[in-house]
């Protein structure tokens, strides 16, 4: 039994459609996996951003607490420098 040209072309087109549908199905599965992984990554990023904001607030609080102490230390250093200068010029 030999195939006619029409039957052969129909067979080729059918095989091509089956291959294309299989490829598309695999592509859709991979896209779904990628989307799921992307969603998981976004959840992790949200947690990291939340932690970063908390850390930023803690650091800003500590900086605000240290500012007066640093200013006092600066004034003390200036005073000690002035005293040292006074003593070196008098002695």
Q: What percent of the chain has pLDDT over 70?
A: 98
pLDDT for 20-43, tens place per residue?
A: 999 999 999 999 999 999 999 999
Per the confidence metrics, is the pTM higher than 0.75? no
Confidence of residue 89 (pLDDT cuts 50, 70, 90): confident
Q: Return the top range by mean pLDDT from 33-47, 60-74, 76-90.
A: 33-47
Q: Which residues of 59-75 are buried (b: 16+ CB within 10 A; e: fewer)?
A: eeeeeeeeeeeeeeeee
Give me the pLDDT at residue 37, please.
98
Q: How far is CA 68 from the centre of its chain?
A: 35
Give me the pLDDT at residue 2, please.
84
Q: In this model, does residue 1 exceed pLDDT 80?
A: no
Three-state secondary structure string covering 33-57: HHHHHHHHHHHHHHHHHHHHHHHHH
Query: Do 17 and 25 contact (CB within 8 A), yes or no?
Result: no
């Amino acid at each position: 039994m030999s195939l006619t040209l029409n039957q052969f072309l129909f067979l080729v087109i059918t095989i091509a459609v089956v291959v294309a549908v299989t490829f598309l199905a695999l592509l859709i599965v991979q896209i779904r996996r990628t989307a799921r992984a992307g969603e998981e990554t976004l959840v992790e990023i949200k947690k990291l951003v939340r932690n970063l904001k908390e850390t930023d607030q803690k650091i800003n609080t500590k900086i605000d607490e240290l500012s007066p102490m640093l200013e006092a230390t600066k004034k003390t250093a200036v005073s000690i420098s002035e005293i040292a200068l006074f003593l070196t010029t008098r002695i």
